[in-house]
Structure 1
Amino acid sequence: MAGNRDIGSETLPGKVERGTEVPDEPAAGREATPGEPPKGRGSGEGMEDPSHTARALWALLEPLHAVTYFAPEARQAFEDAGLHGFWRGYFAGRAAPLGETGPEPVTAAFFGFAPAMVARALPGLWAVVTPGRALEARRTGAGAALRRLLSGYGREVEEAAGLLLPVVRDLDCAGRVLAAANRALPVPPGPVERLWHAATVLREHRGDGHVAALVAAGFDGCEILVLRAGADLPRAELQPYRGWSDDAWRAAGRRLAARGLLDPRGGATAEGLRAHRAVEEATDRAAARPWQGLDASARDRLRRLLVPLARASAAALRFPNPMGLPAPAGEMTDVSGPQVPGSGRSA
């Protein structure tokens, strides 16, 4: 197999026009919540609202998946497979369920990344590892990380996995390519790995719905990041990590301004905030259906099981972060923070 020098620099995909190389890994962002919070926020009643249930469980499941890219054991597993540098592990690990595919389908599925950034990674990475080897590294690294982080929670892990796997089995994955590809993988042995597998399928299921909501609202991968930068996140913590050039960023800003979503200074207008909030609400609605197969007592039991597991897993993550994932606090029911496309559904 070819060495990594055949792919490019350690920091895919190279440089943005301002002369800043794409960072080795995503830096922390800032969580903020434009618009009104969802009904039931921070209350027990919120768990009975299907949309709020979906968002609350996303906040609890996302840390269990996110260790795949951020925990030291996971990073080492990718390194051991020959994937040196954060972005090589990220692109190979996340795209591997799709098989040995090229950049176009991955750009479409991941949504928020500049096509040139993805093209610097794929298909070249398949000369370094096979998709099967990348999947093995992903599973091994995540499992090792969670066994460390969740030590002492064996009963909770086993019971939570038992509740989640039937939900995964019964998922409707129509129109959700990443969810379908991950669900098609064999369920791994071991309770920690089974829990991680379920969390991964469910977060990609939600992410696929998030992309559909963005497309239906008329946003492309760069525009929604520019809007988010105008609302609450610094441009420097979005643009470099998604590989967009300055020209592409400015052009996206002009398109948003023409729609009345950005003001002349680049800030999100009231209409822009409403548009973004509508996407978040559509994402929650689209993510609610899988949980309707659990009765209220099972949903509440699942939440109680996942709270300590999410808090323990979050030790491997940064808060705030570009995923838009809220920091663990209390019972973790205050989960109104928005997702960042391309990372809110992913690391």
Structure 2
Amino acid sequence: MTTPLPERAGRRCHNVLNPLHSTHYFSPDLGREMAAVGIADERGAYFAARAAAMGAVGAGTVTATFYNFRHTLVAEHVPAVWEKAAPETVLAARLRAVDATLRRLLGEDLVASEEVAEAARLALRAAEACDPSARALYAAHADLPVPKAPHLALWHAATLLREHRGDGHLAALLDAGLDPVEALVSHTATGRGMAPKWALGTRGWSRQDWEAASGRLRERGLLDEAGELTPAGAALRQDVEARTDRLDLAPYEHLGAAGVERLTGIVKGLLTTAFANGAFPADMIGKN
């Protein structure tokens, strides 16, 4: 008999896989590799690295699939980045950056460990059950070859699982009536999202945009005057995550309860090491 997944087991697994994927976005290795192929601007490097799997797409596609970036910011860099480096060149540069980043954050012994190889096998098995329907970013990455090195295969699988959940999450946000800035504001208000200075600094929105979105959330009774979620706001965010869980259930059911628990445990250990080695800015998450 198959053991049922514990409640939120898939979400807990995602919550360690997602930052493993994201380490390269905060790494000097990405900037170095992207500059070497002609994309020296930090924001342009991010848009190119994440969008390249979709091909030489335009700003509209990037804005739609990334969701919470201001379109004018995206359009400053896309599609111009493809004139500097073709998507295939960007993807190769990104993988070199991931390789360097993981080796630096985890160390050579951990990168070459059996635990990493086991985690790669588990994560790839989970990704077998991902559904590409209406999931553009996931589907694009699913067309890419699986790297041979176990640590890169693990990162690739983490990327598939991250984008699969992310695409479903956007559907949940739309259904909840949260526009891109409202989604950022309400997530930050939970205490688990990006601090405002990071959200504004990386997504292209102004302080006026942030305050306007906060006002709309207050009008809906979702945010109070202090910027905290009301009971209704907290319930809405919880519902968004629950809907996202349902849309993202298949890969974790496919892996099974024991496999999900093992994968979560291994990657949590990897993240502990990565965090200790400065993988992310200390002030990135929080309400201030």
CA distance in 1 between counterparts of 2:52 and 2:285 reads 21
CA distance in 2 between counterparts of 1:218 and 1:191 reads 40
**CA 1:248–1:191 in structure 2 vs 1: closer, same or farther (change >3 Å)?**
same
CA distance in 1 between counterparts of 2:119 and 2:166 reads 21
The answer for the alignment partner of 1:215 in structure 2 is 174
Query: Could you tell me how far 1:247 is from its partner in structure 2?
Result: 4.3
Provide the secondary structure at the position in 2 that maps to 1:174.
coil
The answer on 1:260 being equivalent to 2:216 is no
Query: Could you tell me how far 1:204 is from its partner in structure 2?
Result: 0.8
Query: What is the one-letter code of the residue matched to 2:84?
Result: V
CA distance in 2 between counterparts of 1:235 and 1:159 reads 37
Aligned counterpart for 2:37 among listed residues 68, 78, 81:
81
CA contact (8 A) 1:53 1:288 kept: no
The answer for the alignment partner of 1:312 in structure 2 is 273
Provide the secondary structure at the position in 1 that maps to 2:108.
coil
The answer for the alignment partner of 2:108 in structure 1 is 151
CA distance in 1 between counterparts of 2:185 and 2:285 reads 15
Query: Could you tell me how far 1:167 is from its partner in structure 2?
Result: 2.1
Aligned pair count reads 278
CA distance in 1 between counterparts of 2:28 and 2:163 reads 22
Aligned counterpart for 1:288 among listed residues 249, 254, 269:
249
The answer for the alignment partner of 1:71 in structure 2 is 27
CA contact (8 A) 1:150 1:309 kept: no
The answer for the alignment partner of 1:35 in structure 2 is none
CA contact (8 A) 1:67 1:74 kept: no
**CA 1:312–1:63 in structure 2 vs 1: closer, same or farther (change >3 Å)?**
farther
The answer for the alignment partner of 1:272 in structure 2 is 233
The answer on 1:205 being equivalent to 2:164 is yes
Q: Deviations over 1:60-104 (max 9, x none)?
A: 212321122122323321221222132121110001011101111
Query: Could you tell me how far 1:319 is from its partner in structure 2?
Result: 5.5
Query: What is the one-letter code of the residue matched to 2:91?
Result: L
Q: Deviations over 1:245-294 (max 9, x none)?
A: 34433432332222122334544322122212221222223222211112
**CA 1:249–1:59 in structure 2 vs 1: closer, same or farther (change >3 Å)?**
closer
The answer for the alignment partner of 2:57 in structure 1 is 101
Aligned counterpart for 1:240 among listed residues 182, 201, 204:
201
- Structure 2-normalised TM-score? 0.87
Query: Could you tell me how far 1:115 is from its partner in structure 2?
Result: 0.9
The answer on 1:132 being equivalent to 2:88 is yes
Q: Deviations over 1:214-261 (max 9, x none)?
A: 111011101122334555465333223211134433432332222122
Query: Could you tell me how far 1:136 is from its partner in structure 2?
Result: 0.7
CA distance in 1 between counterparts of 2:134 and 2:69 reads 20
CA distance in 2 between counterparts of 1:66 and 1:84 reads 19
Query: Could you tell me how far 1:321 is from its partner in structure 2?
Result: 5.7
Provide the secondary structure at the position in 2 that maps to 1:205.
helix
Q: Deviations over 1:141-178 (max 9, x none)?
A: 10122233242122111111122222223321212111
Higher helix share: 2
Query: Could you tell me how far 1:127 is from its partner in structure 2?
Result: 1.3
The answer on 1:112 being equivalent to 2:71 is no
Matches within 5 A, 1:32-47: none
* Cα RMSD (Å): 2.4
The answer on 1:190 being equivalent to 2:176 is no
Query: Could you tell me how far 1:208 is from its partner in structure 2?
Result: 0.9
CA contact (8 A) 2:129 2:250 kept: no
Q: Deviations over 1:182-210 (max 9, x none)?
A: 01111122112111111111111111111
CA distance in 2 between counterparts of 1:231 and 1:250 reads 17
**CA 1:163–1:248 in structure 2 vs 1: closer, same or farther (change >3 Å)?**
same
Q: Percent identity?
A: 38
Unaligned runs of 5+ in 1: 1-46, 325-337, 339-347
Q: Which runs of 4+ in 1 moved over 6 A?
A: none
Query: What is the one-letter code of the residue matched to 2:159?
Result: T
CA distance in 1 between counterparts of 2:267 and 2:224 reads 41
**CA 1:199–1:229 in structure 2 vs 1: closer, same or farther (change >3 Å)?**
closer
Provide the secondary structure at the position in 2 that maps to 1:152.
helix
CA distance in 2 between counterparts of 1:91 and 1:227 reads 24
The answer for the alignment partner of 1:301 in structure 2 is 262
Query: What is the one-letter code of the residue matched to 1:131?
Result: P
Provide the secondary structure at the position in 1 that maps to 2:133.
coil
Unaligned runs of 5+ in 2: none
